[in-house]
Amino acid sequence: MSSAPANLIDGRAIAAQIQRELAARVAALKQRGVVPGLAFIRVGEDAASKVYVGRKEKACAELGMVSETHVLPEKTSELELLALIGKLNSTAHIHGILVQAPLPKPIRESVVFSTVLPAKDVDGFHPVNVGKLMLGDDSGFKPCTPAGVVELLLRSGVKTEGAEVVVLGRGNIVGKPMAAMLCQKGRAANSTVTLCHSATRDIKAHCRRADIIVAAMGVAEFVKADMVKPGAVVMDVGVNRVPDATAKTGTKLVGDVAFAEVQPIAGKITPNPGGVGPMTIAMLLQNTVRAAEAFLKT
Ligand code: GUN
């Protein structure tokens, strides 16, 4: 039997550790009569969104939190969705609200995310929370996936202070907040960050000088061995469905990193699955527990 390579960052184990830490906070809240409550909203039948929300519901239940899922039909209007968010904003036992992206076309995500009360915005997508992140104000909620990457780096003993970090991808959910987090002053930050995207001239040259690469551009197995400096830390955020004739479904999921060729030269690397994914959920639970604690103080 071959054992796992020594340089793997075990996201499942680290997420489980965080969930054990959160369990104590949930128990303390319950003693004071508050059960953290999280509402999920899913619009339409996006297959990946169903899987993600299902996993998040399960994690809530395992931690003894309350969750409720509102599934709206594909044809739901923006106004109907905003009305539901408005209702949940004023529902006392709901401390966090998560509207799963992507949303069907005519609905504007920016309008939807701006409607969630900042105090219940456990996704960290409201402009107030985005602004706080940019300002280095820790009182806001940070987006779960990049927060999970930071936590993985921290708990794996990766030194970010002064490190050259290359973030691949400028999306609002991962790339942009990731860059903002790692360039802040402070714990698990203080990095020199380069944000690369589709118009970047020579991505390979940027990657090759990186001490840490965070791949979040959504291109299957984009990061190849010749783009990685030996010993660099490689964090793979990508989830891409690609054809696979050997699979029963005819497809398989791969990350943004060509894992088999990059793993042997990386200093540390996240497996995919089992790396960043479980941390997104752990950070969502953490944000919701924080929201419930803050609710108790109001
Ligand atoms: N879609 C992909 N990632 C996320 C996330 O972190 N939150 C929400 N709401 N939707 C997503």
- What domains does the chain contain, in order, with CATH numbers? 33-117 (3.40.50.10860), 144-277 (3.40.50.720)
Q: Are strands 37-43 and 66-72 parallel, antiparallel or unpaired?
A: parallel
Residue 265 Cα to ligand 1 midpoint, Å, equals 31
pLDDT at 267 over 80: yes
CA–CA distance, 105 with 112 (Å, rounded to integer): 13
Average pLDDT of the chain is 97
d(CA 183, ligand 1 centre) in Å = 23
Q: Catalytic: which of 19, 100, 184, 286?
A: 100
Q: Which tens digits make up the pLDDT trace of 222-238?
A: 999 999 999 999 999 99
Q: Is 224 tagged catalytic?
A: no
In angstroms, what CA-CA distances link 121 with 51, 125, 236, 244, 253? 21, 7, 25, 38, 29
* Residue 280 Cα to ligand 1 middle (Å): 9
Say whether pTM exceeds 0.85.
yes
In this predicted structure, the answer to whether residue 3 has a pLDDT above a threshold of 90 is no
Say how far apart CA 48 and CA 54 lie, in whole Å.
10
Query: Can you give the pLDDT at residue 2?
Result: 65
Paired tokens of 147 = 């927060």
**DSSP string spanning 208-225?**
HT-SEEEE-S--TT-B-G
CB 210 within 8 A of CB 166: yes
Residue 212: closest CA among 183, 233, 186: 233
Q: Which of 43, 53, 81, 100 to mutate to test the pocket of ligand 1 (most atoms within 8 A of CB)?
A: 100
| Nearest-atom index, ligand 1, CA of 49 | 1
Q: What is the CA radius of gyration of the chain?
A: 19
Strand order in the sheet with 192-196: 192-196, 164-168, 212-215, 233-236, 268-269
Half-sphere exposure of 65 (CA within 13 A, CB side): 34
Kindly give the distance from the C-alpha atom of residue 163 to the centroid of ligand 1, in angstroms, as a whole number. 28
Catalytic residue among 123, 211, 236, 256: 123
Which helix H or strand E contains 49, and what residues bound it?
helix 47-62
What are the pLDDT digits (tens) for 133-165? Answer: 999 999 999 999 999 999 999 999 999 999 999
Q: How far is the CA of 229 from the centre of ligand 1 (A)?
A: 31
pLDDT, residue 182, reads 98
pLDDT tens readout for residues 19-50: 999 999 999 999 999 999 999 999 999 999 99
User: In this structure, are residues 97 and 86 in contact, taking their beta carbons and an 8 Å threshold?
Assistant: no
For residue 100 and ligand 1, the question of a CB distance below 6 A is answered with yes
123 annotated active-site:
yes
Annotated catalytic residue 286? no
State the distance between the two ends of the chain, measured CA to CA, in whole angstroms: 55
In this structure, which residue's CA is closest to atom 8 in ligand 1? Answer: 100
145 lines ligand 1 (CB under 6 A): yes
Among residues 10, 19, 56, 132, the one annotated as catalytic is 56
Alpha carbons 172 and 113: distance in angstroms, whole number: 12
Share of the chain above pLDDT 70, in %: 99
* The predicted structure's pLDDT at residue 188: 80
Rounded-to-integer distance, Cα 255 and Cα 83, Å: 36
**Which pLDDT does position 186 carry in this prediction?**
87
154 lines ligand 1 (CB under 6 A): no
CA–CA separation, 104 vs 43, rounded Å? 7
Q: Find out whether the beta carbon of 144 lies less than 6 Å from any atom of ligand 1.
A: yes
| pLDDT surpassing 90 at residue 298 | no
**75-128 residue pLDDT tens:** 999 999 999 999 999 999 999 999 999 999 999 999 999 999 999 999 999 999
Q: What is the DSSP string of 81-97?
A: HHHHHHHHHT-TT--EE
Tell me how far apart the alpha carbons of residues 57 and 13 are, in angstroms, rounded to a whole number: 19
Residue 1, pLDDT > 60, answer: no
Percent of the chain with pLDDT over 90: 97
